[in-house]
Amino acid sequence: MTEAPAATIVSAEEAEQQRRGLMLVLSSPSGAGKSTIARLLLDKEDNLELSISVTTRPRRSSEVDGVHYKFLDPKRFEQMREHDELLEWAEVHGNYYATPRGPVEEAIESGRDILFDIDIQGTYQLYDKMRSDVVSVFILPPSIAEMKSRLFRRAEDADEIIAKRMKTAVGEMRHWSEYDYVVVNDDLERAYENVRAILRAERLKQFRSPKIGPLIQGMVDDLEMELRDKD
Ligand SMILES: Nc1nc2c(ncn2[C@@H]2O[C@H](COP(=O)(O)OP(=O)(O)O)[C@@H](O)[C@H]2O)c(=O)[nH]1
Ligand SMILES: Nc1ncnc2c1ncn2[C@@H]1O[C@H](COP(=O)(O)OP(=O)(O)O)[C@@H](O)[C@H]1O
What is the residue with the minimal CA distance to atom 16 of ligand 2? 33
Per-residue pLDDT reduced to its tens digit, 191-224: 999 999 999 999 999 888 877 888 888 888 888 9
> Ligand 2 site: residues with CB under 6 angstroms?
28, 30-36, 150, 153-154, 185, 188
Angle (deg, nearest 10), helices 159-173 and 144-154: 140
Whether the Cβ atoms of residue 125 and residue 87 lie closer than 8 Å to each other: yes
Burial status of residue 179 (CB atoms within 10 A of its CB: 0-12, 13-18, 19 or more): buried
CATH of the domain at 36: 3.40.50.300
Total count of domains within the chain: 1
In a domain, 8, yes or no: no
In a domain, 3, yes or no: no
In a domain, 134, yes or no: yes
Burial status of residue 181 (CB atoms within 10 A of its CB: 0-12, 13-18, 19 or more): middle
Q: Give the annotated binding-site residues for ATP.
A: 28-35
> 66-75, 124-133, 152-161: which range is least confident on average?
152-161
In a domain, 1, yes or no: no
Whether the Cβ atoms of residue 81 and residue 89 lie closer than 8 Å to each other: yes
How far does residue 69's CA lie from ligand 2's centre (Å)?
A: 18
Which residues does residue 182 pair with via DSSP β-bridges, in sequence order? 138
Q: Which residue has the higher pLDDT, 168 or 119?
A: 119
In a domain, 11, yes or no: no
Largest CA distance in the chain: 82
How far does residue 110's CA lie from ligand 1's centre (Å)?
A: 26
Q: What are phi and psi of 165, to 5 degrees?
A: -65, -35
Q: Give the annotated binding-site residues.
A: 28-35
Query: Which pLDDT does position 1 carry in this prediction?
Result: 47
Site to substitute for ligand 2 among 137, 154, 165, 190, most atoms within 8 A of C-beta: 154
Confidence category of residue 16, pLDDT binned at 50, 70, 90: low
**117: enclosing H helix or E strand:** strand 113-117
How far does residue 118's CA lie from ligand 1's centre (Å)?
A: 5
In a domain, 114, yes or no: yes
Domain range for 65 is 20-220
Per-residue pLDDT reduced to its tens digit, 44-97: 998 999 999 999 999 999 899 999 999 999 999 999 999 999 999 999 888 999
In a domain, 119, yes or no: yes
How far does residue 101's CA lie from ligand 2's centre (Å)?
A: 28
In a domain, 161, yes or no: yes
Whether the Cβ atoms of residue 176 and residue 138 lie closer than 8 Å to each other: yes
| Structural Rg of the chain based on CA atoms | 22
How far does residue 41's CA lie from ligand 2's centre (Å)?
A: 14
> Ligand 1 site: residues with CB under 6 angstroms?
30, 35, 53, 57, 88, 90, 92, 97-99, 117-119, 121-122, 165
How far does residue 95's CA lie from ligand 2's centre (Å)?
A: 22
Measure the CA–CA gap between 64 and 54, rounded to whole angstroms.
12
pLDDT at 101 > cutoff 70: yes
Site to substitute for ligand 2 among 150, 186, 192, most atoms within 8 A of C-beta: 150
Mean pLDDT of 173-190: 95
**69: enclosing H helix or E strand:** strand 69-71
**3-state class (DSSP) for residue 85:** coil
Site to substitute for ligand 1 among 118, 125, 161, most atoms within 8 A of C-beta: 118
Query: Which pLDDT does position 3 carry in this prediction?
Result: 56
Measure the CA–CA gap between 165 and 173, rounded to whole angstroms.
12
